[in-house]
Amino acid sequence: MGDVLYETSTERDFVYFPVSGIVSILEMLQDGSSSEIALIGSEGMVGISVVLGGGHQPNRAVVQSAGTAYRVPAPALYEAFHRGGVLMDAILLYIQALYTQVAQMAVCNRHHNLQQQLSRWLLLSLDRMDTNEIALTQELIAGILGVRREGITRAARVLQDQHIIEYRRGCITVVDRQRLEEVCCECYKVVRNEAERLSSRTRTRGPTN
Amino acid sequence: MGDVLYETSTERDFVYFPVSGIVSILEMLQDGSSSEIALIGSEGMVGISVVLGGGHQPNRAVVQSAGTAYRVPAPALYEAFHRGGVLMDAILLYIQALYTQVAQMAVCNRHHNLQQQLSRWLLLSLDRMDTNEIALTQELIAGILGVRREGITRAARVLQDQHIIEYRRGCITVVDRQRLEEVCCECYKVVRNEAERLSSRTRTRGPTN
DNA sequence: TGACTTTTGTGCGCGAACGCACATACAAAT
DNA sequence: ATTTGTATGTGCGTTCGCGCACAAAAGTCA
């Protein structure tokens, strides 16, 4: 956990297909601050710039929750992608889902408050895990979201007082997921619905269409 | 100007390749507020979901500055893209550039103030125009950026007092572009440099590579 | 058990942007 | 030239998150 898979502007030698765990994509600023722009779990891949052809990207990929992943050498995936067919179609659809996630982050960052954003982040994380426990300190969560630690403390407190989450040092447990969705902004559902819509396209389309 | 090319969640029947003018991609929220997530000019295309395969996207494409564009029927572009070769490579690289732009918007929305964001938006717009005049009211700019009109008024005032821009009703003129870049946050340059890097890859690579 | 480190809690002033109200200024049309 | 509609200026209270300081609690290890 905390491993950096990709550093800003270094070549992507491998592409990762997570089986479990979560990878955070963080956009970095010169002053050291950052914001998460996407969460990637088993539904996706880390390293789209390999198939897009750009070689690298100005962001950082960090393991947020430990897990396993297939690690494919970049040239191999590049070749496979360019042979077309189902793999290419699936990856292209995933890129659209990722794009939607990043776009929604941008609006969410502007219009919604910290508590809503924390809720959104918890839900997106939960969808990519097999437990309802998130083992990160508030300090780390703050770093991921690009806010201060105290802000997370206060937002988490409110959620706990409402019996939606419970937490102790370094671990948040979601105890009422439904209410969490209710207090969350719409951004979570936009991202999730679009991801579902797109992934169902993969399943329902044959290799030639 | 102000024409809506795509509405949220409607099928993309055409793909647009602007020759002049600017198209804004706006992410909409239920309460009617929105944020621009990307600006597209002659360097790009409007309607990536056609090649990515998703059919539509949960956002809106609006003409920000009138101009001309090639309008290609979606199935035709889909076919051409899937034949591979230079066109596919170029579009994939463009998608990466667009992705970078959206990602940077997300960080910028969180960490930078209104004046910096207005500066960034002016610069990104200027790069896609052949004049240094932007013919939009502050009200419209506010709507695009997803902030209040008064905020734009005050930020624009500061820039004018520094003799970086001049404006009158419905028209902003950039008179000192260099200083505008200086007062702007790094986000502009990250987006522009990445776009340049990627587009130079298109030019320097042959059809078989 | 006691000392130490890390994590979380909280108080307070600051600054930025919101939200509203209303004043002023501009430009086109009659 | 006056009217009218639209665009811009500005004042003020509110909210939200930052930034700092420090307190309290929870683990960890000797």
Q: What's the longest Cα–Cα distance across chain A?
A: 54
Is there a contact between B24 and B146 (Cβ–Cβ < 8 Å)?
A: no
Which nucleotide minimizes the distance between its C1' and the CA of A153? Answer: C8
Q: Is the CB of A149 under 7 A from strand C?
A: yes
Residues 6+ positions from A88 with CB-CB distance below 8 Å: A81, A82
Q: Is the CB of A56 under 7 A from strand D?
A: no
The string of pLDDT tens digits covering residues B72-100 is 999 999 999 999 999 999 999 999 999 99
pLDDT in tens, chain A (209 residues): 678 889 887 889 999 999 999 999 999 999 999 999 999 999 999 999 999 999 899 999 999 999 999 999 999 999 999 999 999 999 999 999 999 999 999 999 999 999 999 999 999 999 999 999 999 999 999 999 999 999 999 999 999 999 999 999 999 999 999 999 999 999 999 999 999 999 998 766 543 33
For residues A174, A144, A40 and A9, what is the CA-based torsion angle, rounded to 10 degrees?
-170
| Contact at CB, B27 and A107, closer than 8 angstroms | yes
Alpha-carbon B90 to chain mean position: 18
**Nucleotide C16: closest residue by CA–C1':** B113
**Nucleotide C15: closest residue by CA–C1':** B113
| Contact at CB, B84 and A84, closer than 8 angstroms | yes
Query: Minimal Cα distance from A188: which residue of B?
Result: B29
Closest CA to B51 of B25, B19, B68, B76: B76
Give dist(CA A94, CA A11) in Å, integer.
21
Tell me, yes or no, if B116 comes closer than 8 A to chain A by beta carbon: no
Strand D: which bases are under 7 Å from protein Cβ? 6-11, 16-21, 26-27
Measured between CA atoms, how close is B205 to chain A, in angstroms? 11
